[in-house]
Amino acid sequence: MGSGARSTKAGEYGDQHLWTAPPRPNLALHPFVEFVGFLYRWLPPSLPRMITSNLPALSSVNFQNFTGFSTGFAAILGLLQSSFGMCCYDAPAHMTEELKNASREAPKAIIMSAYIGAVTGLVFLIVVCFCIGDVSSTTQSKTGVPLIQIFYDSTQSTVGTCFLSSLIVVIAIVGANAILAEGSRSLYAFARDHGLPFSSLVARVEPKRQVPIYAILLTCAVQVALNSIYFGTLTGFNTVISIATEGYYLSYAMPLLSRILARLTGHAKVLQGPYTLGRYGIAMNVMGLAFLVFTSITFNFPTLSPVDSGNMNYTSAAIGIIGLISIVTWITTGQKAFTGPHIGGGGTVVDVLRNHVDSVAS
């Protein structure tokens, strides 16, 4: 977001930022001890035997394929779930106007979220794999959610199962609020730069709280509408998940492609900042782009065979419709009204690009 109208007072909450606040281990120790004590009281004595009984099975390869496709293709299809968990790392970039020392703290938050998510996610998945019982009975659980069945088999307690399941609900709620925050700021940025219909309304900032109220409300309404699809059709909801994941990955791929093309054509400029990949930057960009292109193509494949109208993946059609709407919007209003974010010197990105094109042409 540019240096024009601000969604909030810049740096107002900077001292409370996760990466600048001083650590307080003495305050965090007591809840941690209580949580460990809770697990000790609720986990049954049979849990160690359950884990050790799965060691021989996990030490050997036991690949179960229920997709109807070949084993290799089924493994590729499995990338969708893990790729969905690797989205939204760019969220701090959309909140930079509300961070103190954003040029350092926002990249740090992006990298640390990846590290923390990788470590905690890996530990959680390993524990779940060791605690799972019979795969068929777990997937066909009467609860409708295999993970809840794993919790019950591990604790042998309804109360313990409800507590562990509620933790996932809490994580989902917190994650939804975070996505709402960063999504509304992205929507506000587009509206502020005249890139959306009704931009003047969406870009309004509430004077007292200094937040984009209308952008938040619109983002929340869209979020609720998309989540409601789950009550009507599971296929439609899975398509929404695929669209969201592919949309994120395409948005990550575009700047990488631009940077690579700039290096190949000799138009790359040195981007000043506190962090740099140095001489490894171009290699990392190529690797990242290759992965993003591969997974973006994979997201369009159906996950079951034979394919019918019920299990068809409609992601490609939906992406095509979104792309068509974007092109029409750009032709009719966008190219005339969109200015891009303001940068140093009081100009806009569009102005800088036009001046650069004119200078090259002359």
pLDDT at 287: 93
Burial 22-42 (b: 16+ CB within 10 A, else e): eeeeeeeeeeeeeeeeeeeeb
Phi-psi region of 337 (alpha: psi -120 to 50; beta: other; left: phi over 0): alpha
Structure tokens at 38: 């809770």
Report the distance separating Cα 47 and Cα 155, nearest Å.
7
pLDDT at 32: 45
- Coil, strand or helix at 342: strand
**Other CB atoms within 10 Å distance of the CB of residue 279:** 7
In the DSSP assignment, the letter for residue 23 is: P
pLDDT at 51: 53
What are 342's strand-pairing partners? 348
Nearest alpha carbon to residue 73 among 311, 317, 312, 304:
304
pLDDT at 192: 84
In the DSSP assignment, the letter for residue 278 is: G
pLDDT at 217: 93
Report the distance separating Cα 273 and Cα 283, nearest Å.
19
With a cut of 70, which residues of the chain have pLDDT below it? Answer: 1-62, 342-362
Sequence-distant (6+) residues with CB within 8 A of 132 are 54, 138, 150, 153
Q: What is the DSSP string of 161-230?
A: HHHHHHHHHHHHHHHHHHHHHHHHHHHHHHHHTT-STTHHHHT--BTTTTB-HHHHHHHHHHHHHHHHHH
Asked if residue 246 lies in contact with residue 323, where contact means CB atoms within 8 angstroms, the answer is no
pLDDT at 290: 93
**pTM confidence score:** 0.70
The upper half-sphere exposure of residue 27, i.e. CA atoms within 13 Å in the direction of its Cβ, equals 3
pLDDT tens digit string along 139-195? 888 888 888 888 888 888 888 889 988 988 898 888 888 888 888 888 888 888 887
pLDDT at 257: 92
End-to-end Cα distance, the chain: 31
Nearest alpha carbon to residue 99 among 33, 1, 166, 193:
1
pLDDT at 342: 67
